[in-house]
A and B are shown apart, each in its own frame.
Chain A
Amino acid sequence: MPPHTFKVNGRPVTVEVEDDVRLLWVLRDLLKINGPKYGCGINVCKACTSHINGRAFNPCSVPVGQIRPTDEITTIEGLPDTVGADLHPMQEAWIDRDVPQCGYCQPGQIMAAVDLVKKVQAEGGSVTDDDIDEIRNMCACGTYARIREAIKQGAENM
């Protein structure tokens, strides 16, 4: 089994596993980083949404062999560190709006929201309802209304 070295949440890690095992299972089953959730395994529900080099991606659909030693993976556990605080503004907005019900999809929702806001802000805009409409992250409890409010609120502090 080839060793794979990369950074997760600011920490260098090395795991020995076959190249084709998707990163989600490397994170969850081998590194015991459980924030990214399994919901479909085929990149449609987005429950595992995390960041690679600051951009959102879905580790369920990336073989670990594609991850380079210089790549920096950020999961929900590492999100606060990206802003040097105990909580990211998006997490604070999520708490303020009491968004979660079961909570299972929320790490992915937050990681997707942060990516969306960073993208529109980089383009000089601010997040709109149309932008939020295009987020693909599934929520079976139906927390969409509060997510919508929380994204707008979190964006104000990003």
Chain B
Amino acid sequence: MPAKHRTAPRPSRRPVANKSSAGAPGGMQRRRFLGYLIAAPTLAVGVKLTADGVLEAQALPSPTPEVSEVYDLSDLLLDSTRPTANLITIVVNEDGTVSFSIPRAESGQGITTTAAMLIAEEMGIDVSDVNVTLADARPELLFNQQTQGSASVISIYTPVRVAAALARGQLVEAAATILGDEAENLRTTGGRVLSTAGSSVPFAELAAAAANSVTREAITELKPVDEFEVIGTPQRRDDVLAAVTGRKKYTMDLDVPEALPTMIARPPTIKGTVESVDNLAEVKGMPGVTDVVEISTDAEPGRGTTSSAVAVRARTFGQCIDAVNALDITWGGGNVDDESDATILEQLRAADAPANLPSPGPLDEAGGVLPLVTEPATGALDGVGAVETIDQEFVFYWRSNAAMEPNVAIADVRDGEAEIWTPSQIPIVTQSQIAQVLGMTPGQVTVHVPRGGGAFGRRLFSDVALDAARVSQEIGKPVRLMWHRADECRAGRVHPMCISRVRASFSGSEVVSFEQRHTSVATDYTESFGDMITSQAAKLPFANELTLSQTVFLLTASVPYDLGAIALGYNEIFDFDRFATGSVRNLNNQDFRPAQELMVDQLAARIGEDPMEFRLERVEDERAKACLETVRDEGDWGRDLPEGVAQGVVVHNEYKGSVAVLVEVDTRTATAEREIAGATTGPRVTKVTVAVDVGLPINPLGLKAQMEGGVMTGIAHVFTGSLHLRDGNFLEGSWDDYRYTRHWNAPPEIDVIVMPPSGDRPGGAGELAVGAATAAVACAYARAVGEMPTSFPIGHTKDVPFEVKPVVPPLPPSPVDGLTAYPTPSAAGPAFNPAS
């Protein structure tokens, strides 16, 4: 059970440590951190958002030379006169609450709640009295305004606490006079400063008194880990009340005057173009319609492939849908009109060897053997004995990973200025790209970041914001632009189709070598990964995007077990923007790890060891081993199960953490053939046990939520969640077609165990469980049916269990039978078992 929302921290007896840096620094034995006291009407403090090492007072940062490429000299000169411009700031308000504007996206992962906890911990105030909002695009923060790679908690952990500690120190100093006590004797709790004599003064009365009239540097110390009272306790989301009452404001709920609904008529094939609109006047005259305009939908301004579409602005979104469908458009060809799943698979198999591994020998290809590098040994190696080899290819089809809230943006581009609202994970890049397509400077573009309705990597791209900005500029009016769900499926960023080829060699009970080569349709990392400089460099003429993708692969791919000599490789087909791809939740590991773990189970079976014991013997990381042991014990590994029901287990290390997942999958007919109208039922994950170690867990309740979400996504990845590519477009046109995990697929039993702190720093969690859960479910399914699946999701090639929606007109019309059809959807057919 979650604890109560409010915590009552015991008072901290930490001595006040704030000192002006001009003063003599005392107490050198503890780490001291640098920040700024900022001139403001109430108390405001700031720190640089940067690696915590350089926050230390003894090591001040110097400007990075490469910065000039994205942040020009005039900006630098301007900001050099404002030394505090690139700070993240905490403000104590007159009512005693604390405000913090975080340069991150909040899309459900809980970073605002985490930030509030860090501040509450350090200052001695209730978590609920800390108000965390999302910062607009702040180009002066350079690379420090991206929400990706499960890195948010890792990156803010120290800076936010430093700012809070500075603020607390200032409040205590101001209180000392009022309370007539030495600052060293004072403590803070519940938003008050308390003296040893028992008198107290609330932050509200100190906010103005503690204010600074001039901005200056200051140093502080942090609360020791062993005194934490908030960090590590379960806290509910900061917006849970707003979310369950409908008061939470997403982008489309914002009151921006005159920003009327706008939708887009997209081409029938991926990245197609408009040749002509043949009934423009007629559609402009339809009810509610105010504007119809052709726009470029080029997502990579300045290079890459081009595409275009027609936008409709109207009084209601319903009238947009009708007008979009009424448009008579002559479409030009798309970018991949001749491609289907089968042609892509052929090209993936024929792809050249990765640059970081030698080319495959002709023997491999001639014999129909996988083109891998290590020799498929059949004889005996020196000192090893007879060697056997297992070769296997795994295929992973396209995935959508769309969020519930579609791509959304409000844009007001008038009078030489652009104001944008969009839940971007990379607002600085969004701002820069919008400036580029509008012919403005970034300074003319403001990007606000409302809370998002899910992100999962999709909002690392600015596609919808560019759409909205272009429409608004063209018609000179504000627009409220939303992608239809059909656009999400067909024009949205996809996780690319890929294959993973594995060759494992073993001798007796020893694994001799393990080679895994991953080959993928190119992933577009240009907007998201690395930093902005890398992103810009990748777009330079003659730049090799493969390097970027390979770098990402090598940074994330790992084998957590001792499997002898290990060789990993990654290569891609196509240019980075042939398809609209992106870095969805857990990147390559949602495919790479399942392939690997299925082979680990094969090795265990061939060697004759229990899958759990095999892993426990070979897992290299101690924290990972502890997670495995925990799920073994808590999940009752090896318990008696009926025929057709089996367990699977994996462990995974990433984002400075470890996670072990044990699942049970029921493939018996009575389960797999359950009849729920229009549902993809099939085998069911009935029980899940997760043990997670993120070093120092900040909010166990939020951490568990991330694990649970990762498991649900992994279930879809194994059984049902995919896009079918046919002749240049995807067949899926909505939810129900794209079959993410639903209530009828969700495990009735799920237990997440947060391991005790194994370090003094937090790791990332948002993506940690996805690849691991996918792998565990795949392994359990393989054991339950006695046959290893090699194509994912397993239902992908079996059938297309839905009526394919037309691409012309582009949007499925809304039904009219909603008063009689509930709870059965209008188009519900019989249930589908992807394993049948």
Mark A residues whose CB is within 8 Å of B.
Answer: 1, 17-18, 20-26, 28-30, 32, 34-45, 47, 52, 55-63, 66, 75-77, 80, 87, 91, 94-107, 110, 112, 129, 132-148
**B319 CB–A CB distance under 8 Å:** yes
Q: Report the separation of the CA atoms of residues A20 and B678 in the bound assembly, to the nearest whole angstrom.
A: 27
Q: Pick the contact of A58: B234, B708, B818 (CB < 8 A).
A: B818
**Are B825 and A98 within 8 A (Cβ)?**
no
| A100 close to B243 (CB less than 8 A) | yes
Query: Contact flags (1/0) for B403-435 with A, using CB distance below 8 Å?
Result: 111100000000000000000000000000000
Contact of A43 with B255 in the complex, beta carbons under 8 Å? no
CB of A77 within 8 A of CB of B818, answer no
Which of A26, A55, A140 meets B404, CB within 8 Å? Answer: A140
The reply to whether A17 and B316 form a contact with Cβ atoms under 8 Å apart is yes
| Residue picked from A75, A106, A145, most chain B C-beta under 10 Å | A145
Q: Is B453 engaged at the interface, CB distance under 8 Å to the other chain?
A: yes
Q: Is B252 an interface residue (CB 8 A)?
A: yes
5 smallest beta-carbon distances between A and B, as pairs: A35-B246, A142-B712, A102-B108, A61-B818, A103-B243
Residue B466 is within 8 A (CB to CB) of chain A in the complex: no
Most buried by B among A41, A87, A99, A110: A41
Interface size in chain B (residues, C-beta < 8 A): 85
Is the beta-carbon distance between B261 and A29 smaller than 8 angstroms? Answer: yes
Which of chain B's residues 720-759 have a Cβ closer than 8 Å to chain A? 734-736, 740-744, 746-748, 750
Contact partner, A43, options B236, B239, B403, B821, Cβ 8 Å = B821
User: If A97-B2, A105-B404, A138-B740 touch, does A61 touch B817 (CB 8 Å cutoff)?
Assistant: yes
A103:B485 contact, CB within 8 angstroms: no
| B residues in contact with A20, CB < 8 Å | 318, 322, 816
Q: A13 to nearest B CB, angstroms?
A: 15
Verify A145–B406 contact, CB threshold 8 A: no
Q: Provided the pairs A41-B484, A107-B244, A141-B709 are in contact, do residues A29 and B404 lie with their beta carbons within 8 angstroms?
A: no
Q: Contact check, A41 vs B705: say whether CB atoms are below 8 A apart.
A: no
Whether A103 lies near B317 (C-beta < 8 A) is no
Is A95 within 8 A of B819, CB to CB?
no
User: Pick the contact of B746 from A56, A95, A106, A144 — CB < 8 Å?
Assistant: A144
**Contact: A103 with B108, CB < 8 Å?**
yes
Contact between chains at B318 and A43 (CB < 8 Å): no
Q: What CA separation (Å) do A112 and B822 show in the bound complex?
A: 10
B residues in contact with A98, CB < 8 Å: 2, 234, 236-237, 240, 701, 705
Nearest A residue to B805, CB-CB: A42
| A107 to B246 CA separation, bound complex (whole angstroms) | 6
Can you list 21 A-B contacts (CB < 8 A)?
A29-B318, A32-B255, A42-B827, A43-B814, A43-B825, A45-B404, A61-B814, A76-B244, A98-B236, A98-B237, A99-B240, A103-B237, A103-B239, A103-B453, A104-B454, A133-B674, A138-B742, A140-B404, A141-B108, A141-B712, A142-B713
Query: Given that A22-B318, A98-B240, A102-B405 are contacting pairs, would A76 and B245 also be in contact in the complex, using a CB cutoff of 8 Å?
Result: yes
Q: Are B814 and A91 in contact (CB under 8 A)?
A: no
B268 shortest CB reach to chain A, Å: 19
Contacts of B245 in A (CB 8 A): 35, 76-77, 80, 87, 91
Are B403's CB and A38's CB within 8 A? Answer: no
- Decide if A21 touches B316 in the complex (CB within 8 Å): yes
A101 touches B705 (CB 8 A): yes
Q: Are B710 and A77 in contact (CB under 8 A)?
A: no
Q: Contact between A103 and B248 (Cβ–Cβ < 8 Å)?
A: yes
- Assess the A104–B250 pair: CB atoms within 8 A: yes
- Please indicate the chain A residues that have their CB under 8 angstroms from the CB of B318 in the complex: 20-22, 24-25, 29
Given contacts A101-B108, A104-B403, contact A40 B815 (CB under 8 A): no
* A133 engages B676 (CB within 8 Å): yes
Chain B proximity of A42: nearest CB distance (Å): 5
Bound complex: CA A21 to CA B109 (Å) = 35
Cβ contact of B744, chosen from A97, A133, A142, cutoff 8 A: A133
A25 to chain B, nearest CB (A): 4
Q: Known contacts A25-B316, A52-B819, A142-B711; is A45 also within 8 Å of B735 by CB?
A: yes
Q: Check A101/B822 contact, CB under 8 A, given A41-B484, A140-B404.
A: no
Q: With CB as the reference atom, state the residue of chain B lying closest to A42.
A: B812
Q: Are A144 and B712 in contact (CB under 8 A)?
A: yes
- Known A43-B825, A102-B107; contact A96-B815, beta-carbon cutoff 8 A: no
Whether A56 pairs with B316 at a CB distance below 8 angstroms is: no
- Knowing A77-B245, A98-B237 are in contact, say whether A62-B404 is a contact too (CB < 8 A): no
Chain B, interface SS category? loop
Contact of B316 among A29, A52, A55, A147 (CB under 8 A): A29
A140-B456 contact given A18-B288, A39-B735, A60-B814, CB 8 Å threshold: yes
Residues of chain B lying within 8 A (CB to CB) of residue A144:
708, 712, 741-743, 746
The docked-state distance in angstroms from the alpha carbon of A65 to that of B91 is 51
Report if B823 contacts A (CB, 8 A). Answer: yes
Please, which residue of chain A has its CB at the minimum distance from the CB of B712? A142
- B713 contacts which chain A residues (CB < 8 A)? 142
13 more contacts with CB within 8 A, not counting A25-B317, A41-B321, A138-B404, are: A1-B287, A22-B814, A40-B735, A40-B736, A42-B812, A60-B814, A76-B245, A98-B234, A98-B237, A101-B108, A103-B237, A104-B250, A145-B708
The smallest C-beta distance from A151 to any residue of chain B, in angstroms, reads 10
Which residue of A21, A61, A63, A141 is within 8 Å of B821 (Cβ)? A61
Contact string against A for B residues 141-179, beta-carbon threshold 8 Å, 1 for contact and 0 otherwise: 000000000000000000000000000000000000000
Which of B108, B243, B253, B827 has the largest number of chain A CB atoms within 10 A? B243
B373-397 at interface with A (beta carbon < 8 Å): none
Of all chain B residues, which has the CB nearest A104? Answer: B453
Interface core residue of A63, A141, A142 (most chain B CB under 10 Å): A142
Q: Is the CB of A44 within 8 A of B736?
A: yes
Contacts of B319 in A (CB 8 A): 18, 21, 25
A51 CA / B239 CA spacing, docked (Å): 24
- Is there a chain A Cβ closer than 8 Å to B43's Cβ? no
Interface membership of B452, Cβ < 8 A: yes
Contact B252 A41 (CB under 8 A): no
- Cβ of B826 under 8 Å from chain A: yes
Chain A residue nearest to B401 in the complex (CB): A140
Contacts of B735 in A (CB 8 A): 39-40, 44-45, 138
Interface residues of B in 63-109 (CB under 8 A from A): 107-109
Asked if B821 and A18 sit within 8 Å, CB to CB, the answer is no
Alpha-carbon separation in the docked complex, A112 to B742 (Å) = 14
Bound CA span A129–B237, Å: 26
Most buried by B among A32, A106, A136, A137: A136
The residues of A that contact B734 with a CB separation of less than 8 Å are 40, 42, 44-45
Q: Mark B1-25, 1 if CB is under 8 A from A, else 0.
A: 0100000000000000000000000
Q: Is the CB of B315 within 8 A of A134?
A: no
B660 at the interface (CB under 8 A from A): no
B355 interface residue (CB < 8 Å to A): no
Task: Tell me the bound Cα distance from A60 to B234 in angstroms.
Answer: 37
Looking at the complex, which one of A62, A76, A80 makes contact with B816 (CB distance below 8 Å)? A62
Among candidates A44, A132, A143, residue contacting B825 with C-beta atoms closer than 8 Å = A44
Q: Which of B317, B452, B827 contacts A102 (CB 8 A)?
A: B452
Residues of A within 8 A of B369 (CB): none
- Residue B241 interfacial (CB < 8 Å): yes
Within 8 Å of chain A (Cβ to Cβ): is B482? yes
Q: Would you call B110 an interface residue if the criterion is a C-beta within 8 Å of the partner chain's C-beta atoms?
A: yes
Q: How far is the CA of A59 from the CA of B404 in the complex (A)?
A: 17
CA distance A55 to B287 in the complex (A): 31
Minimal beta-carbon separation of B662 from chain A (angstroms):
16
- Cβ of B772 < 8 Å from any Cβ of A? no
